[in-house]
Amino acid sequence: RKEVEQDPGPFNVPEGATVAFNCTYSNSASQSFFWYRQDCRKEPKLLMSVYSSGNEDGRFTAQLNRASQYISLLIRDSKLSDSATYLCVGYSSASKIIFGSGTRLSIRP
């Protein structure tokens, strides 16, 4: 089992919709998680950090569910510019940074 797993998608939703996707992790001792956004052929960029009970930043909400060992990303009122690949990142038991393979999101007009 991969240490960090994501649904690869693609998620194809209309502009203005709410979309959510999850990331599961296998190391119950993991403390820190992040969501990164990656545009086609570009470098990943930090979208949100996810600490303890999660956090919100504008249209984006990240949640951490320790009991079920997953984190989620919710995007409200989606924009065309939200189209990208979203990478879930967690820390393994060896304090190594583990990236999920990414979830592709496509927002259609």
Partner 1 sequence: NAGVTQTPKFRVLKTGQSMTLLCAQDMNHEYMYWYRQDPGMGLRLIHYSVGEGTTAKGEVPDGYNVSRLKKQNFLLGLESAAPSQTSVYFCASSPPGRRDNSPLHFGNGTRLTVT
Give residues in contact with partner 1 (CB under 8 A).
8, 31-32, 34, 36, 41-46, 49, 51, 87, 89, 91, 95-97, 99-102
For tokens 């409200």, name the residue. Answer: 76
Choice between 32 and 63, CB closer to partner 1: 32
Q: Which is nearer to partner 1, 34 or 61 (CB)?
A: 34
Paired tokens of 50: 């996810």
Cβ–Cβ under 8 Å, residues 59 and 9 = no
Q: Nearer to partner 1 by C-beta: 30 or 83?
A: 30
Structure tokens at 18: 């709410």
Residue with tokens 């999850």: 22
Q: How far is the CB of 42 from partner 1 (least distance, A)?
A: 7
Q: Shortest distance, CB of residue 59 to partner 1, whole angstroms?
A: 20
Minimum CB separation from partner 1 for residue 44, in Å? 5
Helix (H, G, I), strand (E, B) or coil at 57: strand
Q: How far is the CB of 56 from partner 1 (least distance, A)?
A: 17
Nearer to partner 1, 32 or 55 (CB): 32
Asked if residue 82 lies in contact with residue 75, where contact means CB atoms within 8 angstroms, the answer is yes
Residue 24, token pair as written in the block: 């599961």
